[in-house]
Amino acid sequence: MNLTVAIKRALLSVSDKTGIVELAQELQKVGCEIISTGGTRRKLEEAGIPTTEISTVTGNPEAFGGRMKTISFNIESALLFDREKDAEEAKALKIEPIDLVVCNLYPFEQVLKQGADFETLVENIDIGGPTMVRAAAKNFKHVTVVTQPSDYAQLIAELNNAEGTTSYEFRKQLMAKAFNHTADYDALIATTMDKENGLHSLRLGFDGGQELRYGENSHQKAFFYHEKNQSNSLANMNVLHGKALSFNNILDINAALEAISDSTLSACSVVKHNNPCGLCEGPDDNQRKLLELAWAGDPISAFGSIIAFNRPLKLETVEFFELNNTDKSKRKFIEVVIAPKIDADALAYLQFHKNLRVIEFDPASLNKSIDLRYLNGTLLCQDADNQLHSKIENKTEYALDITASQPLIEFGLRSMRSIKSNSITIVREQDGFLQLLGMGAGQPNRLIATQLAIEKSRENLRNEYTGDEVDFEAYVQTELGNAMLISDAFFPFADNVELAAAKGIRKISQPGGSIRDKHIIAACNKLGVAMVFTGLRHFKH
């Protein structure tokens, strides 16, 4: 097998004409004949580059408004015949080989995005282009096929470095790109035509598969793929420092970013096992305090956590981790730190921990339009949970000032929306900062979730309390009385309200919607608890 192939004859037919003149000029330099069609031919000849008109090869004119140009026995044979086994037959049939195809397809995707009508879409379905591309790709041992202008530079380098030839390895790489190109093209057409017929279909494309050390557990294999045409996917994270990311790291990174992705204030999330165990929002001028309050949400669970910020990360902030403390017991162990930008001195400090992954990624750039779950040969698809509430409405005799309470309620909804159901969060405002004080996550029994959230809140209040022991319970009652309990779904019974009230909670937010809502409201009125309905449930399974 000939590993290098001389490019003596090329067929150029492109809708995206970026760089095509420059490529043709380089082909001229190596003595290559250029065959071309329609608009591509006109552009090349306007640049002074002589071309062979396609009809002189096909033996037929372009016809039917350009629908027929390249499809012919002569063109496909020139691309497909095996240069070693079929040489004599090709000679007898007067088939002259074509060594290079440069083709990108009719701009179906572009006209679809522009809102074109159905007839325009149909006219932008390429037939001859995919046929040529696939023929050349199939015969990559002898033919080079290029479908992306981004590959022109490497093609030119090959031609210049190897006296007008291309290598087998290069052609093989381009072959795979070509088949992916036509597969993606056909997939988009297929799903668009399904939609035109009132059918729901979904075809996803992923590439760049990276093998991870293992999956959730050491006996499981795992890979990390990049969704095609997604510029802001997690695969685009800029890893500045640390060891390779694991499967669990990536899951937790996503959870940490999602928890603060739509925060308008400066925000910090601390995530462990896919749940925020710490979360805080506040003013931009005190990021260190923001981290301290987020960490205080569960200092024990924060060990080995993933921490994300939505503002550039400062040295003063990361010094909280005490990574270079001579007393190693005071160093805080974390797995990953993420921020949109990390100051140079902050990065240098984080590098004291050689394995700590330090990543630049902006939470606001996350694409949160749909949520997909692959389940044993099926796919569930839903809109992402991007709406916090449909209303904030007082339902009890003890009414809240909705305007004053709304920032805390919405922070609580954002925190609870990120936590596995059944979930209860308790949030508070402290000196301009909004803090997750305690949470109960992933419980089949909502009462247990409420109990866990209260216990964690009491534990955190104990950690921060500096007064006399005799006054501790009064402090707890005050802090919990000012806090807000947020439920991801309605309360089916009054036991949650009774437990919360007994422990000092005086403000509750829930979506409402239970057949027992009147009973729940009556219990709140009896116990002196204010309750608002938000109208939207936020299960997270």
Q: What is the pLDDT of residue 232?
A: 81
For residue 133 the two structure tokens come to: 């591309």
Closest CA to 364 of 271, 279, 270, 262: 262
Whether 237-365 shares its CATH topology with 385-533 is answered yes
Q: What is the pLDDT of residue 231?
A: 78
State how far Cα 114 lies from the chain centre.
24
Q: Is the pLDDT of residue 55 over 90?
A: no
d(CA 391, CA 411): 15
Query: What whole-number percentage of the chain has pLDDT above 90?
Result: 89
Contact 390, 513 (CB under 8 A): no
- pLDDT tens-digit readout, 461-470: 999 999 999 9
Q: Domain 4-196: which CATH class?
A: alpha beta
Calculate ∠ Cα 208-213-214, nearest 5°. Answer: 100
Q: Is the pLDDT of residue 68 over 90?
A: no
Contact 484, 408 (CB under 8 A): yes
Contact 488, 412 (CB under 8 A): no
Task: Parse the chain into domains and list their residue ranges.
Answer: 4-196, 237-365, 385-533
Closest CA to 539 of 426, 440, 420: 420
pLDDT band at residue 61 under the 50/70/90 scheme: confident
Longest CA–CA separation in the chain, Å: 105
- pLDDT tens-digit readout, 171-218: 999 999 999 999 999 999 999 999 999 999 999 989 888 999 999 999
Cβ-based neighbours of 176, under 8 Å, separated by 6 or more: none
Q: What is the pLDDT of residue 251?
A: 95
Please tell me whether the peptide bond between 422 and the residue prior to it is cis, using omega within 30 degrees of 0: yes
- pLDDT tens-digit readout, 472-489: 999 999 999 999 999 999
- The residues assigned a catalytic role are 138, 273
Q: Is the pLDDT of residue 1 over 70?
A: no
Structural domain 237-365, CATH architecture:
3-Layer(aba) Sandwich (3.40)
Q: Domain 385-533: which CATH class?
A: alpha beta
pLDDT band at residue 66 under the 50/70/90 scheme: confident
